[in-house]
Structure 1
């Protein structure tokens, strides 16, 4: 549990307490991408460690897809290599843990064992509640893992919520969800700092003030100095000055919080941005804000004499390092801090849009669909206005047959939008907004496909909805891609908020879209 974040450790403790309580049914509520798999694995590890010597404990984890079963198993094995795990009910002989699908339970109901704890992943999507009749035995405890508290109105609807940690909580606490960035910090930056003589290296250091907390990626010592590192990962070798300005602004905000906690004078900041930056710009930032910037050229310099570190750096950078020159970074030295004028604190842009989306209820009642469309368009403008040349809302085709909520022409300045232009022969992208309370069905995929037309260089569409695509809609979107080369991408509220947070924190939001596209393309069969 040492590698878990504070909220994950708390969730594990709550689950363990539930297992030892008189309750038979409970739930935890967590947004996607906040590490629920690690929580499940650590909770199982703790329960078996504390109880299995006294009695034989059997635990089942149920989910909707076989691929998720494999993912959970991998995390469990990483947590404890000695776990005896079965992936099918028929393999349960001698196993203490079963990780399988709801379909497997229904298919092999006569062979179900008496489990002490059954963890139901994505419990809000369980449609056939007869499955619980098959599983319910004397003394069995059920734990539902759900996305949002108000999504549960079925079997787990009356279950006690023992823990809740949502996207708004993660943003408040300064936690990021960029998995590649986290791996870069753990597997490259920490070893690099050790190699360079840094000591007392602490990852994800929390700083609190009266209103909120922030999380510094790394805090370490170099001689007598305390150095804080903030990391921003990008998919481009070159990025706009505005992206770097946003990242520096984020560091200055951290300095402001440190001032309130009386730690500012003790800490120097290094901003790690692994792409090419003009040395003149780096010097200007240092002179104006006392923030040292490490570019990709500086990172190459720091590890070029250690081949293992250089290879690690290359493995986390999405472009070749072969033609890049090394450059010595700015020396770490303390100088008089520039005066930062205290500004009146305002809610963050991310929090503003979180509140707007939460206030806008799903459906058409009281003009909610129109409100949702306005909010989403406003977010798209905020995220990508520098990437689009023209915007057209409520755009009609010349024959008046189709009306698109938003259509934009592309400049292709960042990696993602250039990727669409190059490989999908598209100059325009379509955005459709669906304020539905349930996931999007396949019928809407086929309707959206009609908006796309190769001769008009319009081959890509985004469908923005509250809950994303259902299973059949995902299949339909893949079918459109394989058969006609039309790319239809699902975005939900959480995707929008994550990208807004990235933009506000000095990251490139279109990198998030590129990750989505790569996941889709890597899953496509013939």
Structure 2
């Protein structure tokens, strides 16, 4: 078990170094960059990976290989980089993915930080990307089509156009089911909408069978008894409370659909909901996570760029477990 974890960490480190190395290489090939230095080779782990001169100013670049970030992880990165915000140099966060519209809006408040996401890197290094040595990175960037409309774009538009409130609950439920089907089928079964248990006491909005025999969904089934993925869609215009968590907890049964559930919502939960989420897990081993519009947007962006969208689910669970 320890060997597997070490191998996983080593693979992540290698992939991160490849992105850093390739980005530095593209900068050296670009006429607008000069004095490009991989900072980790000079000062070790200072939070800055690459230093260079760019159009008359010095840029300090931190590279992250992750294509997405949860809000808590993004806050950790901001905290780490904030030591440089009083510097006259330009601070850049570079990564081969996209931020959600909400995250972009939050980061605009930090005018000392510049974001190089997959779109920005594609614009700056359009010519250099074709000469990348890493075929994996090259394929990732070549899939990025800035001005084309995809199925992911259409689904995100539908989500954004759906008004909050109980009046539109059916439209939101259908949109959630369509997004989940696009993201996770055929690894998961097609969404089944609104099933009741035998005594009709508990109704589940969306159910997706998990018969996956490899990858992360197999791990979820084995570790968290996610035999079926239960999704309760809440199109509330107000914050969901502990009752919503208790409702989905009642659906989850070890001898029934399993012990893993998702609450899809439009606003942040109340603190009572988070508290009940923790209690349900610690007392009954029922794992419930919250997925909002920002999370759906990130998963759709990952799917669009050929990356497994379940990375968002994975981060959600990791953040929850590590926060206990």
Pick the TM interval, shorter chain: 0.5 to 0.7
Gaps of 5+ in 2: 1-57, 63-68, 88-101
Given candidates 265, 274, 277, the residue that maps to 1:465 is: 265
How big is the shift at 1:495?
A: 0.4
Matches of 2:312 and 2:249, distance apart in 1: 23
Structure-2 change in CA distance of 1:79 and 1:384 (3 Å): same
Aligned to 1:380: 180
Given candidates 48, 56, 59, the residue that maps to 1:2 is: 59
Whether the 8 Å contact between 1:205 and 1:218 is mirrored in structure 2 is: no
Matches of 1:508 and 1:80, distance apart in 2: 37
Given candidates 163, 175, 178, the residue that maps to 2:117 is: 175
Aligned to 2:166: 364
How big is the shift at 1:3?
A: 3.6
Deviations 1:118-165 (Å, cap 9, x if unpaired)? xxxxxxxxxxxxxxxxxxxxxxxxxxxx8798xxxxxxxxxxx9x689
Matches of 2:233 and 2:310, distance apart in 1: 19
**2:251 pairs with 1:451:** yes
Structure-2 change in CA distance of 1:414 and 1:441 (3 Å): farther
**2:315 pairs with 1:411:** no
- Secondary structure (helix, strand or coil) at the match of 1:497 reads helix
Deviations 1:187-209 (Å, cap 9, x if unpaired)? xxxxxxxxxxxxxxxx96342xx
Deviations 1:52-98 (Å, cap 9, x if unpaired)? xxxxxxxxxxxxxxxx7xx76543335569xxxxxxxxxxxxxxxxx
Structure-2 change in CA distance of 1:354 and 1:174 (3 Å): farther
Structure-2 change in CA distance of 1:369 and 1:216 (3 Å): farther
Whether the 8 Å contact between 2:172 and 2:233 is mirrored in structure 1 is: yes
Matches of 2:207 and 2:252, distance apart in 1: 11
Whether the 8 Å contact between 2:143 and 2:305 is mirrored in structure 1 is: no
Aligned to 1:421: 221
Matches of 1:450 and 1:34, distance apart in 2: 29
Whether the 8 Å contact between 1:429 and 1:461 is mirrored in structure 2 is: yes
Given candidates 253, 263, 282, the residue that maps to 1:482 is: 282
- Secondary structure (helix, strand or coil) at the match of 1:389 reads coil
Aligned to 2:295: 495
Instruction: Tell me how many residue pairs correspond in the alignment.
Output: 243
How big is the shift at 1:522?
A: 1.6
**2:121 pairs with 1:205:** yes
Aligned to 2:322: 522
**2:82 pairs with 1:76:** yes
How big is the shift at 1:400?
A: 1.1
How big is the shift at 1:465?
A: 0.6
Aligned to 2:131: 227
How big is the shift at 1:398?
A: 1.1
- Secondary structure (helix, strand or coil) at the match of 1:494 reads helix
Deviations 1:413-470 (Å, cap 9, x if unpaired)? 4432112211123311201101112232111111110011111251111000112422
How big is the shift at 1:506?
A: 0.6
Structure-2 change in CA distance of 1:219 and 1:35 (3 Å): farther
Structure-2 change in CA distance of 1:3 and 1:441 (3 Å): farther
**2:148 pairs with 1:251:** no
- Secondary structure (helix, strand or coil) at the match of 2:295 reads helix
Structure-2 change in CA distance of 1:80 and 1:231 (3 Å): farther
Whether the 8 Å contact between 2:183 and 2:309 is mirrored in structure 1 is: yes
Superposed counterparts of 1:59-458, under 5 Å: 73-77=79-83, 79=85, 175=117, 205-207=121-123, 219=128, 227-228=131-132, 248=139, 251=142, 346-365=148-167, 368-389=168-189, 391-458=191-258
Deviations 1:225-262 (Å, cap 9, x if unpaired)? x61467869xxxxxxxxxxxxx94862566xx8xxxxx
Whether the 8 Å contact between 1:216 and 1:230 is mirrored in structure 2 is: no
- Decide which structure has the larger Cα Rg and report it: 1
Whether the 8 Å contact between 1:431 and 1:463 is mirrored in structure 2 is: yes
Whether the 8 Å contact between 2:195 and 2:205 is mirrored in structure 1 is: yes
Deviations 1:152-185 (Å, cap 9, x if unpaired)? xxxxxxxxx9x689xxxx9xx9825xxxxxxxxx
Question: Which structure shows the higher helix fraction?
Answer: 2
Whether the 8 Å contact between 2:70 and 2:315 is mirrored in structure 1 is: no
- Secondary structure (helix, strand or coil) at the match of 1:347 reads coil
**Per chain length, whose mean CA-contact separation is higher, i.e. which structure has more relative contact order (CA < 8 Å, sep 6+)?**
2
